[in-house]
Chain A
């Protein structure tokens, strides 16, 4: 069974640009969450989607947005990039219906903002 796939794995942008990151969850998983990981702040929750609906949103500015498609694939977008947006963005999927609680993480997209 294929794991969670994130693309691109690495990207470099400049301040003011925007970026779109993609996540394909494990087949059959309908819940997708996004986290930002930085050395100083650890793992911070961005948003969670289930059946194309945003269920929860973390404490991030409106420049961070996301969506989920009917095939459960998800994208997140960051507009007007700032230096502080440099981070590893992790996507995770889970099988909420079974209530296992386990999040399966992708390898992440490492964003560098210059």
Chain B
């Protein structure tokens, strides 16, 4: 089945710096890749997603890139702020699954130091 690897597991940056989180997936048939942010003690929330027919998507300070050939996708956060501190999860739709059936990476704990 689908497997999603996420790196790094922890990431510490200074406020204003950029942060990059990388994920790889195993099934070339996967076609939907969301990113969820989970603040401490709160529920995961979708921050951005990308479909396999698109190579890059931006939303203000957040961008996601997808390389289908290499089967990896990345989250880029520019001009980081303390409120960006959270755990970020990448995910892919499982083979034969639907958008409610996501395979998540194990998460990256991002700490933004003021």
Contacts and interface: CB of A to CB of B under 8 A. Distances in A.
B89 A42 contact: yes
Contact of A105 (B44, B99, B101, B106): B44
Interface string A85-97: 0000010101010
Contacts of B52: none
A92 to B, nearest CB: 7
A42 B34 contact: no
A107 interface: yes
Contacts, number: 74
Interface size class of A (residues with CB under 8 A): 20 to 34
A45 B106 contact: no
Interface residues of B, number: 25
Nearest to B99: A101
A58 B98 CA distance: 13
Interface of A: 31-33, 35, 41-45, 48, 50, 55-56, 58-59, 90, 92, 94, 96, 99, 101-103, 105-108
Interface of B: 1, 32, 34, 36, 42-46, 49, 89, 91, 94, 96-107
